[in-house]
A and B are shown apart, each in its own frame.
Chain A
Amino acid sequence: MAHKSNYVPQSAFEKWLDERLPVVRLMKDQFIDFPTPRNLNYWWTFGGILIFCLIAQMMTGIVLAMHYVANESMAFESIEHIMRNVNWGWLIRYTHAVGASMFFAAAYLHMFRGLYYGSYKAPREILWILGVVILLLMIATSFMGYSLPWGQMSFWAVTVITNLFSSFDSVIPGLGTRIVQWVWGGFSVGNPTLNRLFSLHYLLPFMIAGVVILHIWALHVPGNNNPTGIDVKRSSEAMPFHPYYTIKDGFALAVFAIVFAAFVFYAPNYLGHSDNYIPADPLVTPTHIVPEWYFLPFYAILRAIPSKLFGVIAMFGAIMVLFVVPWLDSSPIRSLRYRPMLKLFFWAFVVTCVALGYLGAMPPDGIYLLSARLGTFYYFAFFLVVLPVVGRIETPTQMPGSITEDIMSKERRRRAALEGGAPAGAPAAPEKR
């Protein structure tokens, strides 16, 4: 939201700096005064939580990299060295490992929020698209990170996923194999592979940080959406970001940190796989190769398709389709609060995603395979059929004219409830005043 700058340089130095590089002005305008809708609920706190996650991953990661050795015969041992001999090494490593899961949990909730409140619609399409770019980078980063301990699951996950490129052999014979060998840096997953995975795992978070800056820039041009999906129309409908949202985000972050810490201190390996405490062995294939939980829905989609090539296309398509969501949804109304029909389809979509996550961990046969196919079908149908069609056929419910009106009617209902269910507007008994 473009708003007038309230920054007045306080000292001669600040004035001098402001005329040359107005960073202080930028900070004040964008992170202190920034007008933010007053009706944001707690689903809007995950953006701030994600920034915390990114910083936590980078800080713990940089320390880990000081002790980690990216070599196929030393990687596993160097992790154990961190766990046993480095001061607070266990804390740093468990925080980083659990942190990846927390990061994805927060990102998925953040995205479901965006879908529910129609935050991807004009004028926030670029903001949404940058979010999807971040998601892709996050997926790449965590996949590479998971390979670094060079345990059994690391090794075999890399083998399975890099081998997906060989599906191109069915397009141009030999092409897939060439790509796979180029990715591996050899004829099998080995030391060159591990080295490049480490190099890129260190690089990508900085790229994420760059895209996050663009993401926030793209947020600060139109300003936040809000639970009504109605644009802010008067200045009284917004509040300065600080202190109102700094304190609210702070509280949400503290609650998030409690969940985070509970995992780190009391169940640090709960989200991991026990096979990753066995050093990588190219000669022994684990009975079940399963990815981390946050990839399971995509893994289920991959395996639901009988053809390898189309499985790969569907898996990537499941993310690519997010890029065009702003143009698939045919309704001008943002918030699902006022779209009863799409709301049902939305919750069915959430359940489908969770179910696909479960199915991704199950063997791909019998009822599991059938369910995964149904789930995959609905996943794509939600975007490609439901979003375009429902907007044309549903009857939206009555919307308030503005954020203020919405707040007022809530207030009236609240009063009515407080006054023992008396109808709104009826005079309350004096003794209850």
Chain B
Amino acid sequence: MDSLDTLARWRTAQIAGVLVIALLALAAPLRAAEDDQIIRKEAWSFTGPFGIYDRAQLQRGFLVYQEVCASCHGMHYLHYRNLSEAGGPEFPEAAAKVVAASVEVEDGPDDQGEMYMRPGRLSDAFVSPFQNDQEARVANNGALPPDLSLMAKARPDGVNYLYSMLTGYADAPADVSMAEGMYYNTAFAGHQIAMPPPLFDDSIEYTDGTPPTIDNYAKDVTAFMMWAAEPKLEERHRVGFRVMIYLIIVAGLLYVAKRRVWSRGAH
């Protein structure tokens, strides 16, 4: 069982591997964004096998969400407790409690059978700005601001798209006629978006020295949306590394064992 034979076997194994990957890679072109959407690629701290979130960035991103986006968009899969959990913005628990207490949550019925309002707790889900879709539409010229909890996974090339869209507002080219109440955006599909430009330089105060620019706001809130969509990413990367090492060792041992066993029986 040596050289040539082994080589041939390895080649077969390699072909098998390449085929599996080629078959799987087939899925890739399906999710390319529409051709005329301008998507800028940004370097993110959380991509790659060892990627982790940048805590300070998530904290700034939460600030942007809270001060700007939250007036129109909910994030109802997040709970206030998540803000202080490991692998996220990791605010001190006291800070998360303050955030929670700043909203009113409907609870009940009490022992009189009445529903009542109380300050939010850590265990509550993020309160959405509108009671229902209809109310949201009325407040936004008929357009519906979608929930942002999963937005980073709900668009092709999620984070790069979001960043490009938030920084993609521009004056409409002369030959484009804009519909009533729509804004020109280079990244949005169809280029006409009903969301007014949400970010302006210097509109939110950063206390950690990060320049308060549209670009930074967009980047930070995008990272925050990524965490909201994928709160277990750090754990996944961490566990993944151990599993890969383990599997590679097991495969190596099995390969050696296989050669041993076969060299005994082959002759």
Contacts and interface: CB of A to CB of B under 8 A. Distances in A.
A416 to B, nearest CB: 10
B19 A109 contact: yes
A101 interface: yes
B247 A261 contact: yes
A262 interface: yes
B243 interface: yes
A293 B22 CA distance: 11
User: Is the contact region of chain A dominated by helix, strand, or loop, or is it mixed?
Assistant: helix
A251 B236 contact: no
A359 to B, nearest CB: 11
Interface stretch (A126-134, A242-250, A320-328, A380-388): A242-250
A42 B15 CA distance: 10
Given A273-B30, A417-B4, A254 B254 contact: yes
A275 B21 CA distance: 23
A361 B26 CA distance: 9
B145 interface: no
A130 B8 CA distance: 31
A183 interface: no
Interface residues of B, number: 56
Contact of A275 (B9, B146, B154, B266): B154
A410 B3 CA distance: 12
B115 interface: no
Nearest to A113: B16
Contact of A109 (B20, B235, B236): B20
Q: Main secondary structure on chain B at its contact with chain A?
A: helix
Contacts of B244: 258, 261-262, 265
Interface string B1-34: 0011100110011001101111110111111000
Contacts, number: 145
Interface stretch (A65-73, A83-91, A205-213, A394-402): A83-91
Interface in A92-118: 94, 101, 105-106, 108-109
Contact of A354 (B9, B17, B22, B241): B22
A259 interface: yes
Given A258-B244, A277-B154, A244 B77 contact: no
Interface in B131-158: 146, 149-150, 153-156, 158
A127 B266 CA distance: 29
Interface in A12-31: none
A284 B53 CA distance: 34
Given A255-B13, A354-B23, A414 B243 contact: no
B27 A277 contact: no
Given A258-B244, A259-B20, A42 B30 contact: no
A47 to B, nearest CB: 13
B142 to A, nearest CB: 14
Nearest to B233: A90
A291 B149 CA distance: 25
Contacts of A413: 4
A248 B258 contact: yes
B39 to A, nearest CB: 13
A247 B30 contact: no
A125 B9 CA distance: 28
Contacts of A274: 31, 153-156, 158
A425 to B, nearest CB: 17
A247 B29 contact: no
Contacts of B158: 274
B153 A277 contact: yes
Given A247-B257, A277-B154, A293-B30, A105 B23 contact: yes
Given A42-B16, A263-B24, A90 B232 contact: yes
B239 interface: yes
B55 interface: no
B129 interface: no
Interface string B48-79: 01000000000000000000000000000100
B157 to A, nearest CB: 8
B253 to A, nearest CB: 9
Interface string B222-254: 000000010110011101110110011011001
Interface string A264-306: 1110111101110110000000011010110010000000000
Contact of B236 (A258, A265, A290, A292): A265
B179 interface: no
Q: Give the most central of B22, B229, B241, B254: most A CB within 10 Å.
A: B254
B174 to A, nearest CB: 27
B262 A293 contact: no
A378 interface: no
A103 to B, nearest CB: 12
A151 B241 CA distance: 30
Contacts of A271: 24, 27
B13 A357 contact: no
A275 B33 CA distance: 12
7 contacts: A243-B261, A250-B258, A259-B17, A259-B20, A261-B244, A265-B236, A270-B27
Given A261-B244, A354-B23, A358-B26, 13 more contacts: A80-B150, A91-B236, A94-B236, A109-B16, A109-B20, A251-B254, A252-B13, A258-B248, A265-B49, A265-B240, A278-B154, A292-B27, A418-B4
Interface of A: 38, 41-43, 77, 80, 83-84, 90-91, 94, 101, 105-106, 108-109, 239, 243-244, 247-248, 250-252, 254-259, 261-266, 268-271, 273-275, 277-278, 287-288, 290, 292-293, 296, 354, 357-358, 361, 410, 413-414, 417-418
Interface of B: 3-5, 8-9, 12-13, 16-17, 19-24, 26-31, 49, 77, 82, 146, 149-150, 153-156, 158, 189, 229, 231-232, 235-237, 239-241, 243-244, 247-248, 250-251, 254-255, 257-258, 261-262, 265-266
